[in-house]
Amino acid sequence: MCKRFLWKGDAQSKGKALIAWDTLCWHNVVGGLNITDVYIWNKAAILKHLWNLAQKKDKLWIVRVHTYYIKGRRPWEVAGQQASWMVRKIIQAGHWISEAGIPMTEIMDADDFTIKGMHKKLRGDFIKVPWRRLTCINQGNSKWIFILYLTIHRRLYTMDRLDKWGIHTDQVCALCKQELETHQHLFFSCTMAARI
């Protein structure tokens, strides 16, 4: 629903996204729009419950789970077939930590656990893009910054892109009428665009 609103302006419309949702959820400095990926955030929240189980917090549900299912073992090593679906989901969540390449003991033996910190670890590390300051530290209008963002990712509807999709139009630049309309030409070498 969020991506439909971003690309079409309302939640009901369907259509092609210009940039993959995973890319948009990256941090600003690595080429995304810093939109929270709720799927990963939910994983981090479930892992917080697993951490609470490992710490044996003094809460009624934790004592109950330890008494009936864990029985002195590590929570992530328990199968929990007889447990409710929710407890089973929490117990089996340990594989997300392994998939992210994080040592289980580093997380479970820590003195504190934040969902935000785990979310960051599950997302992983990315390389900063050289153009990050153009979009992050920009006092321009939000619409202009978004168009700049699409331009950097080469996702604007230029004539050469439309032709690749099978929409055949006149390929000549509408501004200068001299060269083919591409991202490179329109934003960097078109004489008419430079004057504007």
Q: Average pLDDT of 78-83?
A: 78
Does 163 fall in a domain? no
Q: How many domains does the chain have?
A: 1
What integer best gives the mean pLDDT of the chain? 83
**63 falls within a domain:** yes
Give pLDDT, residue 9.
61
Task: Assess if residue 85 is contained within a domain.
Answer: yes
DSSP string for 75-101: GGG---TTS-HHHHHHHTTHHHHHHTT
Measured distance CA(38)–CA(44) in Å, rounded: 10
The CA distance from 106 to 76, in Å, is 14
Instruction: Specify the DSSP class assigned to residue 12.
Output: S
Inside any domain, residue 6: no
Distance CA 118, CA 120 (A): 5
- Hey, is 135 helix, strand or coil? helix
- Residue-range definition of the domain harbouring residue 65: 38-123
Residue 143 lies in a domain: no
Q: Is residue 185 part of a domain?
A: no
pLDDT of residue 196: 72
Whether residue 182 lies inside any domain: the answer is no
Whether 171 is in a domain gets the answer no
User: Of 13-22, 60-69, 78-87, where does the model show the most confidence?
Assistant: 60-69
| Per-residue pLDDT at 1 exceeds 80 | no
Question: pLDDT (tens digit, 9 = 90+) per residue, 19-62?
Answer: 888 888 888 888 888 888 899 999 999 999 999 988 887 888 88
Read off the pLDDT of residues 104-139 as tens digits, 9 standing for 90 and up. Answer: 888 888 899 999 999 999 988 888 888 888 887 778
